[in-house]
Amino acid sequence: MSGQPDITVPAFTKLNLPPPEEYRKRKVALISGITGQDGSYLTELLLDKGYDVHGIIRRSSSFNTGRLHHLYEDQHERPGKFKLHYGDLSDSTNLVYIIASVQPTEIYNLGAQSHVKVSFEMAEYTGDVDGLGTLRLLDAIRTCGLEAHVRFYQASTSELYGKVVETPQSETTPFYPRSPYGCAKLYAYWIVVNYREAYGMYACNGILFNHESPRRGRTFVTRKISRAAADISLNKQSCLYLGNIDAQRDWGHARDYVEGMWLILQQDKPEDFVLATGETHPVREFVDKSFAAVGMEIRWEGTGVNEQAIDVKTGKAVVKVDPKYFRPAEVDLLLGNPAKAERVLGWKRKVDFDSLVKEMVEADLKAAASLVEDQN
């Protein structure tokens, strides 16, 4: 007896594994949240880099793999490189089973109830999936005895900053979450740090500021606006209803951000990084630029809940405020400082704000126009 307590916590299942250096010569990624916006871009990136990509999908009565459709088609050319597994971040046994059978070298935990407003209505569920779900994945890695073999990426968020303490927000800015989503992600952030320190795991947080694309879910504000601008310009919708149009966000393009996720897992030592553009814009500006992109001139009038945007040509209101979309507690301003990622990872966003808006609106115009043709 050395007098030291035995602080190693044994793994329950020992797989017959080669040593970590040997094991990591393969390139096998496991992605939770693969059906989401980021999951689809990350899958494209990793397949291009020669990885075998495995994804966790939820069983759904409706089709939920639309963002991956093009990759399925491709797989006829690259059989065996891309596989989906049914699973859920609320089901520990299933996570252990998937990890034990896939034996990944990198795990990207992108799965989450990711809507901030919805988290106020489904607070417990959000805590379970976004907070404890992260713990379940980390423990599944340990249960399989893979803690020295696997690198783990956690989709942390600028929502951790919440109420403004300082700007721009960096890796050292104190957190002050403002929603059940932000609080759940705060638990996830710290459990990742804790498992890194306690068990020496290569586990990292990417603290990502808002990132958007034509694949963004339709209830997030950017996509809601780009779709509405397209539909209104084609007379398929008359008015767009929004909540807090004064909120300011640091918006980048999702394709740039998944590149950063991958870079975070390729470093010599595990660290946490902010990915952001370093610019902030109000929701109102996203509206202005979206309508400009469809060739419509609008002007704002009124104040508060009575504020509205008028189509200069017709005199009709095309955007109105509906308090239904306000949140019980709001994050007013996000502005990230990506200096560490730029310096250490050599990462920099490529797509600027104007190009992002244009790409999203053009994609929605194209989709809306093709539907018009279909109906004719």
Q: Which residues are catalytic?
A: 157, 159, 181
Does 38 engage in binding with ligand NDP (CB under 6 A)?
yes
Does 255 engage in binding with ligand GDR (CB under 6 A)?
no
Total residues found in the chain within this entry: 376
Does 157 engage in binding with ligand NDP (CB under 6 A)?
yes
Does 31 engage in binding with ligand NDP (CB under 6 A)?
no
Does 325 engage in binding with ligand GDR (CB under 6 A)?
yes
From the list 113, 155, 138, 162, the residue with the least C-alpha distance to 262 is: 155
Q: Give the separation between CA 42 and CA 291, rounded to whole angstroms.
A: 30
Binding to ligand NDP, residues 169-208 (CB under 6 A): 208
The crossing angle, in degrees rounded to 10, of helices 254-264 and 37-48 is 60
Binding to ligand NDP, residues 69-108 (CB under 6 A): 88-90
Query: 43, 261 in Cβ contact below 8 A?
Result: no
Does 36 engage in binding with ligand NDP (CB under 6 A)?
yes
CA atoms lying within 13 Å on the CB side of residue 324: 5
Does 176 engage in binding with ligand GDR (CB under 6 A)?
no
Does 242 engage in binding with ligand GDR (CB under 6 A)?
yes
Query: 224, 321 in Cβ contact below 8 A?
Result: no
Does 243 engage in binding with ligand GDR (CB under 6 A)?
yes
Closest CB to ligand GDR among residues 117, 340: 117
Q: Which of 56, 96, 116, 184 binds ligand GDR (CB under 6 A)?
A: 116
Q: Give the separation between CA 148 and CA 141, rounded to whole angstroms.
A: 9
Phi, psi of 333 (to 5 degrees): -145, 125
Mask of contacts with ligand NDP, 112-131, x by CB under 6 A? Answer: xxx--------------x--
Query: 130, 184 in Cβ contact below 8 A?
Result: yes
Q: Give the separation between CA 291 and CA 20, rounded to whole angstroms.
A: 53
Q: Which range of residues in 5-13, 69-77, 190-198, 239-247 is near ligand GDR by CB under 6 A?
A: 239-247
Q: Which range of residues in 19-27, 100-108, 217-225, 257-265 is near ligand GDR by CB under 6 A?
A: 217-225
Residue 46 to residues 111, 207, 210, 303, 349, Cα–Cα distance (Å): 17, 20, 21, 47, 18
Residue 325's binding partner among ligand GDR, ligand NDP, none (Cβ under 5 to 8 angstroms by kind) is: ligand GDR
Query: Which residues in this chain contact ligand NDP in the complex, by CB under 6 A?
Result: 32-39, 56, 58, 60, 64, 88-90, 110-114, 129, 155, 157, 208, 210-211, 217
